[in-house]
Amino acid sequence: MGRCTRMILDDVFEQKDEIAKAVSEELEKVMGAYGYSIEQTLIVDIDPDQTVHRAMNEINAAQQLRMAAVEKAEAEKILQVKKAEGEAEAKYLSGYGIARQRQAIAEGLRESVLAFSNNVPGTSAKDVMDLVTHQIRNGLMQGSAADTSS
């Protein structure tokens, strides 16, 4: 068995046809002198040494592990991005919901004040709003004082 030391083993597997052609041309030169014609040469099997075989398998396994690690990292990155996007959207929607609730409360309060001031003689909407604002401030201050005394 001859050894091919001019090519990388992976190239040998990939270029079997080119090698067969080169062998055919060399045999044609040698055997043509004796009247033989080489029609075709076939490379049926490439059988490297077992240590080379093991080394190639280890290289392939390492490459596959590296690719799997890259794919796993990419998947984890995508999950983190999607999670962050979801949290940001939930936070936005939560804030949007709070803003809408505040707006609805304010509109309801305004309508109530107008209805109250229209139905109670001698009361203006401004007087009612001042009273409501005063009550809200007192409630907030009482709640704040209760929190600090706990």
Q: Where are the domains of the chain?
A: 1-46, 48-145
Report pLDDT for 69: 93
Report pLDDT for 129: 74
- pLDDT per residue, tens digit, the chain (150 aa), is 445 455 677 777 788 888 889 889 999 999 888 988 888 888 887 888 888 878 888 988 999 999 999 999 999 999 898 888 888 887 777 777 777 777 777 777 777 777 766 776 777 777 777 777 777 777 767 766 666 665
* DSSP one-letter string for the chain: -----SS-HHHHHHTHHHHHHHHHHHHHHHHHTTT--------------HHHHHHHHHHHHHHHHHHHHHHHHHHHHHHHHHHHHHHHHHHHHHHHHHHHHHHHHHHHHHHHHHHHHHHSTT--HHHHHHHHHHHHHHHHHHHHHHHHH-
Report pLDDT for 1: 42
